[in-house]
A and B are shown apart, each in its own frame.
Chain A
Amino acid sequence: MTVGIATAVWGGIVVLFGSGLLGLVYKGFDRKLAAHMQGRIGPPLRQPFYDVTKLMIKENIVPDHAVTWLFNGMPVVSLAAVATILFYLPLGGFAPLFSGYGDLILVLYLLAVPALAMIIGGFAAGSPYATVGAQREMVMLMSYEFPLAITLVSVAWRLATILPGAHTFSLAVIAAHPLWGMVGPLGVIGLVLLLISLLVVTPAELSKIPFDIPEAETEIAGGLLAEYSGRNLAMFYLADAVKMIVMSALVVALFIPYGIAAPLGLAGALGAFIDALFFLVKIFVVIFFTVIVVRVGFARLKVDQVARLFWLPMTAMALLGMIFLALDRIL
């Protein structure tokens, strides 16, 4: 279960650059498709690349009231945290790069880091809009973490009951053993409920409409990001793009880890290539339904409405899913 240094370094570079590129490409699709759904033409697909390039060469302004080192540090922390998660996620037919060095619980914690970094950055900016945004992000974080944690742990626990002795909190193991075929009808109902709650958590985790409350352009003028500009903003932008890939890769790893190479009878390099392409399609489908369609179809909610939504119905749904999985085991 050890990883060679060279593999780790080269794999890491490929994963980092690949996910950055992919995140920006998918962001381009997101904007183009959302525009078409809204009856607009939309920007060209490469617009996110233009945006990042432009931001990189723009002046990086630090407000007078800001705590400079925190303000400048948080974009780096945010980007580093989301990039690190990628090392623990199975990507396509490939096992996680750091498989064996961390598991689902670590991913859960790392997922909270970008949000925390934005909160700290927001407070450090010393602007009232950023402060309000940071407070809202905190409430959001407290709201969606519980259903998210229930979902991840339930899946791993049910798998542990089926494969005693296996390291079921490792995403590689979860992805290699899709639960759908191993549980009874009650378990399938439970899994569906858990999948739905994870899909609802996804746009909240990504701060997309209807959950873009911490940024809320018309209310608090960009909130957390109000004071960020230039290179710092570019890093948050990239972190956001990569996080989109991370969240959908997590959904794919937990619930739809199937490949098409084996059923098609393909093997070797061609099979791996086909599976990688299929993985990209799966990620796109998840993004399409959890981010693009949702953000086109809803108005922004208020922070208390979001808290109520996640604490009551979504937590209840996740718990119900867990109970169904438990019942499936007992019966």
Chain B
Amino acid sequence: MDSDKINLELGCTTCTTQTTYSVPIGPVHPALKEPIQFTFRLSGERIVGVDIKPGYAHRGIEYMGMKRNLIQVLYLAERICGICSISHPLALTQAVENAAGIEVPPRAQYIRTIIGELERIHSHLLWAGVAAHELGFDTLLHLVWKVREKVMDLLEQLTGNRVDYAIPIYGGVRRDIPDEKAGLAYEALSYYKNLLQDMINAFLHDKSVAMRTSNVGVLTYDDAVALCAVGPTARASGVKKDVRQDMPYLAYADMDIRAITPEDYGKPVVGDVFDNIVVRLLEVDQSIKIIEYCLEHMPGGELTSIPKVAALLAVLKKADGEGIGRHEAPRGEVFHYIRLEAGVEAPVAWKVKAPTYSNLMSWVPKFMGDEIADIPIIAASIDPCMCCLDRATLVDQGGGEAVKLKEELVKLSREKTRRMCG
């Protein structure tokens, strides 16, 4: 086509040959729900190169956390992401409990698990709606988001909030799930169990969805392993990787959790967007079963080992050491590192690694060779969360852009850690 004309109009500077041209997508674009910059090199409608530039949603939350006491940090962690608003506190509480040696009563562990799995249901349904919208299938978007309201209502009934549930606290949980509320949960779960076949029909047996998602955005098994993909993105490529299976925590140790891959649906693993849909829909079913197990086998006993916040703060202030916490968030493994020093209220170091950070690089093989029309659904296929992802920013007083490679980044990170930890 007349790519020369396009080059001129774009003021393209990165074009390597006469047959390719660059199209910027982002930082603000209807296909993206959060800011990130893609620069695609295209040959006709085909993608031959992509450059990804994150960093538009950095808010310095970790730094803010290091100026506050741990209870306040919990509030901050809850607000790292609006969708994973239980995943970050779950990872943080585990990290702090690990560092301070605080025990969590069994009942609290079960309640945390229930809320975490409810979040997975609402997150996967939210993703399914977004995916349908990116495919231009708004009917499915509206229907899926309508049924998602049921789990949002349940979360509100159980915790008081639709998002930011404020359930975990170091050493336990802040609210119980009494029997009358468990009834509400059972009702919502049976609603979703009846609905699941309809969802599978709407997504997996629909010709136009299959036409748009089969063999689109393929991430092979080898690429997924090499690029350290996590969560449904890795599992859709056949990598049996799930924190709940590999390193069971909370109530997951009592259950037999298996990582779900497309093989569970009885189809060979391709690693395309269709497989991503398969894995996420089957995980909704898995979450329903986990919550049912937790409700049935809920142990009695205390909600928290240190009920008084003042006492808790005193214990945390005395704590000395470092800890890690990991949780299988709806999008993959979320990891928190914390370092506490005796006599200091604030954590000396707090590091958050969100699943999108690990999945970022899997975008490159997914985009390669596909078309402009596939960009939105491939971008959505890893369920990206930019505000989770953006944990670092580079301030350069000299001006201009900088690209840091791995060795230098590792060196800079180590220097910073040494500075923080003294």
List the 6 closest pairs (A to B, CB-CB), nearest first: A300-B136, A299-B137, A299-B208, A38-B142, A299-B135, A302-B373
**Does A326 interact with chain B (Cβ within 8 Å)?**
no
Expressed in whole angstroms, the minimum distance between the Cβ of A278 and any Cβ of chain B is 31
**Does B351 interact with chain A (Cβ within 8 Å)?**
no
By the criterion of a CB under 8 Å from any partner CB, how many residues of chain A are at the interface? 31
0/1 interface trace, chain B 112-147, chain A, CB 8 Å (1 if under): 000000000000000000001111111110110010
Report B-chain residues with C-beta under 8 Å of the C-beta of A135. 1, 45
| Cβ-defined contact, A299 with B372, below 8 A | no
Asked, given contacts A128-B23, A131-B9, A132-B23, whether A301 binds B212 with beta carbons under 8 Å apart, the answer is yes
0/1 interface trace, chain A 24-41, chain B, CB 8 Å (1 if under): 000000000000011110
**Does A296 interact with chain B (Cβ within 8 Å)?**
yes
The secondary-structure label for the interface of chain A is loop
Give Cα A259 to B139, complex, Å: 35
**Does B205 interact with chain A (Cβ within 8 Å)?**
no
| Cβ-defined contact, B136 with A302, below 8 A | no
| Cβ-defined contact, B373 with A299, below 8 A | no
0/1 interface trace, chain B 196-224, chain A, CB 8 Å (1 if under): 00000000001011011000000000000
Expressed in whole angstroms, the minimum distance between the Cβ of A266 and any Cβ of chain B is 41
Give Cα A244 to B6, complex, Å: 32
Report A-chain residues with C-beta under 8 Å of the C-beta of B209. 299
By the criterion of a CB under 8 Å from any partner CB, how many residues of chain B are at the interface? 34
**Does B375 interact with chain A (Cβ within 8 Å)?**
yes
Report B-chain residues with C-beta under 8 Å of the C-beta of A127. 9
**Does B29 interact with chain A (Cβ within 8 Å)?**
yes
**Does B171 interact with chain A (Cβ within 8 Å)?**
no
**Does A213 interact with chain B (Cβ within 8 Å)?**
yes
| Cβ-defined contact, A128 with B10, below 8 A | yes
Interfacial residues, chain B to chain A (CB-CB below 8 A) = 1, 5-6, 9-10, 23-24, 29-31, 45, 132-140, 142-143, 146, 206, 208-209, 211-212, 371-376
Expressed in whole angstroms, the minimum distance between the Cβ of A63 and any Cβ of chain B is 10
Which of B29, B211, B372 is within 8 Å of A305, CB to CB? B211
Report A-chain residues with C-beta under 8 Å of the C-beta of B133. 218
Of all chain B residues, the one with the shortest Cβ separation from A221 is: B30
Which of B9, B24, B143 is within 8 Å of A39, CB to CB? B143
Expressed in whole angstroms, the minimum distance between the Cβ of B133 and any Cβ of chain A is 6
Of all chain A residues, the one with the shortest Cβ separation from B213 is: A299
Give Cα A205 to B136, complex, Å: 18
Identify the interface centre among B45, B137, B373, B374: most chain A CB within 10 Å of its CB: B373
| Cβ-defined contact, A128 with B139, below 8 A | no
Give Cα A210 to B211, complex, Å: 12
**Does A149 interact with chain B (Cβ within 8 Å)?**
no
Expressed in whole angstroms, the minimum distance between the Cβ of A296 and any Cβ of chain B is 5
Report B-chain residues with C-beta under 8 Å of the C-beta of A209. 136-138
